[in-house]
Amino acid sequence: MIKVIGLIELKNLEAFEEYRSQVGKTVEQYGGTVAYRGKVHMPLWNELACAPFSAFVELEFPDLASASAWANSDQYQSLVPIRSKAMKLTLFTVSE
């Protein structure tokens, strides 16, 4: 299993709700699930000097190929303009 973690700084709540209402369907098309969404309350350390973020998402995919196919898919890429209005995003994969 591969996890995709997104660090989110919200810019526009209305655009975020529009994006959020559609993105899960694109994840499912590539065998993924939205495992968890949440708010960030306070960083405990920030030695990498990350930009501020207020929310995060954790997605799960069966493998790296599925996660990559989703991120580069036409379905997901069609949401990027809405995403850009809604938030700043850092998205990365992790595995054990």
The single residue listed with the structure tokens 């369907």 is 25
Q: Structurally, what CATH architecture does the domain formed by 2-94 represent?
A: 2-Layer Sandwich (3.30)
What's the predicted TM-score (pTM) here?
0.92
Write out pLDDT tens, residues 46-85: 999 999 999 999 999 999 999 999 999 999 999 999 999 9
Q: How far, in Å, CA of 73 to CA of 13, rounded?
A: 25
Q: Ramachandran region of residue 31, left (φ > 0), alpha (ψ -120 to 50) or beta?
A: left
Partners of 90 in beta bridges? 7
In one-letter notation, the amino acid at residue 85 is K
Q: What does the block give as tokens for 60? A: 């799960």
In one-letter notation, the amino acid at residue 43 is P
Write out pLDDT tens, residues 27-51: 999 999 999 999 999 889 999 999 9
